[in-house]
């Protein structure tokens, strides 16, 4: 996988080229609802065709491509609706595609091995899945509705005060570290799980767990580096206007 922090992704770059530069950006563009088959169109052209804010798409692409990319001067409250949609699409990927696929690999591994301890792996992963589902459901049912309501309130729209009974710092304080349990699962397979004849599925599970960890870190980083600062600004604006 290629990744370079030296490249600034701009709207005149071809969308196909940035995937060659960093293959993980394929997941990013899919979460924007962009389908492959865009030919030689540049990023700005693809965004226009898909009715997306080019500035916001470039912000997310650069954040994912370069973890040192500075976002301070680039944040805008106008990004909130698209940002929430993007994060929801990320949740959909984790809950509908990625986690069930890893669970399927674990089932295949159990079928191929005679080691009775292999079933402990399934139990451990089920517990981890439950934690991820709870975390993301909380965001979908509580955090995101609060942010969208706050965004509308600042714009002068009427919203339910019940939805505004939250603060983004509560989200940060309770942002559960689901990566820690994922690391425990990796270490179980690497260090402590007894040897088995079927190494293919065991290695495949590990590859997918490392990939999941990387993707979750990027997803959570987007919430912490982009979403949270914008919402804090909205909260200050609402408070200054006596709205919250």
Give mean pLDDT, residues 21-25: 93
Q: Which of 167, 181, 139 is nearest to 235 (CA)?
A: 167
pLDDT band for position 3 (cuts 50, 70, 90): very low
pLDDT band at 113 (very low <50, low <70, confident <90, very high): confident
The pTM (predicted TM-score) of the whole model is 0.89
Does pLDDT of 230 surpass 50? yes
* Cβ neighbour number for residue 84 with a 10 Å cutoff: 19
Instruction: Tally the C-alpha atoms within 13 A of residue 134's C-alpha that lie toward its C-beta.
Output: 11
Q: Which residues is 14 bridged to in the sheet?
A: 42
User: Would you place residue 176 in the very low, low, confident or very high pLDDT band (cuts 50, 70, 90)?
Assistant: low
The mean of the pLDDT values for the chain is 89
First-to-last alpha carbon distance for the chain, in angstroms, is: 46
Measured in degrees and rounded to the nearest 5, phi and psi for residue 36 equal -65, 160
pLDDT(210) > 70: yes
Kindly report, residue by residue over 57-94, the tens digit of the pLDDT: 999 999 999 989 999 888 999 999 999 999 999 999 99
Higher pLDDT, 55 or 189: 55
d(CA 1, CA 210): 14
User: pLDDT class for 243, splitting at 50, 70, 90?
Assistant: low
Per-residue model confidence (pLDDT) at position 1: 39
| Secondary element (H or E) of residue 60 | helix 54-65
Structure tokens at 222: 């987007």
The phi and psi torsions of 13 (rounded to 5 degrees) equal -75, 145
pLDDT of residue 156: 87
Q: Are 107 and 126 in contact (CB under 8 A)?
A: no
Question: What percent of the chain is predicted at pLDDT more than 70?
Answer: 94
pLDDT at 189: 85
What whole-number distance in Å separates Cα of residue 117 and Cα of residue 140? 36
Above 50 in pLDDT, residue 2?
Answer: no
Give the C-alpha distances (Å, rounded to integers) separating 198 from 110, 112, 115, 123, 177: 9, 6, 10, 19, 31
User: What value does the mean pLDDT take over residues 31-50?
Assistant: 96
């Amino acid at each position: 996988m290629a990744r370079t922090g030296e490249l600034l992704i701009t709207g005149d770059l071809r969308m196909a080229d940035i995937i060659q530069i960093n293959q993980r950006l394929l997941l990013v563009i899919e979460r924007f609802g962009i389908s492959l088959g865009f030919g030689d169109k540049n990023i700005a052209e693809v965004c226009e065709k898909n009715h997306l804010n080019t500035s916001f798409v470039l912000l997310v692409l650069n954040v994912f491509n370069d973890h040192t990319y500075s976002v301070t001067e680039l944040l805008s409250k106008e990004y909130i609706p698209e940002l929430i949609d993007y994060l929801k699409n990320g949740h959909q990927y984790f809950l509908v595609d990625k986690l069930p696929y890893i669970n399927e690999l674990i089932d295949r591994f159990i079928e191929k091995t005679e080691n009775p301890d292999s079933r402990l792996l399934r139990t451990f992963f089920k517990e981890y899945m439950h934690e991820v589902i709870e975390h993301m459901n909380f965001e979908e049912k509580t955090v995101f509705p609060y942010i969208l309501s706050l965004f509308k309130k600042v714009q002068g729209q009427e919203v339910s005060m019940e939805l505004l009974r939250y603060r983004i710092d509560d989200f940060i304080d309770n942002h559960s570290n689901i990566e820690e349990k994922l690391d425990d699962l990796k270490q179980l397979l690497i260090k402590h799980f007894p040897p088995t004849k079927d190494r293919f599925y065991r290695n495949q599970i590990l590859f997918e767990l490392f990939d999941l960890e990387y993707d979750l870190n990027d997803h959570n980083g987007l919430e912490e580096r982009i979403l949270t600062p914008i919402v804090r600004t909205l909260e200050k604006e609402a408070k200054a206007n006596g709205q919250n």
